[in-house]
Amino acid sequence: MPRPRDRYGRPLAPDAPTAQITPPAPERENITSAEAWGEAINYLNVDLPFHAHEVFEQRWRCCPPAERDCWRALAQWGAALTHLARGNPKGSRDVALRAGELLGNCTIIAPVDREFVLDSLARLITCK
């Protein structure tokens, strides 16, 4: 059984109070681009960036090779948002820089909103 985690994906003690535990994103071997984008954005809207990162990573693992850079960049975006939520602005900036570079050089997959992600990454890069 996986170790319980908090809302930002930090591992908790096995006997952590139930109120501190956030259920993980469902683990799947296959998820479509539309499902991944929609689910991840829903997680971001309720302040669960680690879950968004996990969903993007799931899509990255099962997508066609031509889409991998896009989903990898999105997984990095989710990781950057997670670092910020955990109080690590330097880690957030470092990952956001890599994500922005990768996203700027890849083919964007529908329904991904490139400008929305790039705006978010720009804010993360300038966050102190």
CB atoms within 10 A of CB 123: 12
Q: What's the confidence (pLDDT) of residue 2?
A: 78
pLDDT > 90: percent of the chain:
94
Q: What span, in angstroms and rounded, lies between the C-alpha atoms of 106 and 68?
A: 9
- Residue 62's contacts (CB-CB under 8 Å, 6 or more residues apart) are 29, 30, 31
- pTM equals 0.95
* Second CATH level (architecture) for the domain 30-126: Orthogonal Bundle (1.10)
Contact 88, 10 (CB under 8 A): no
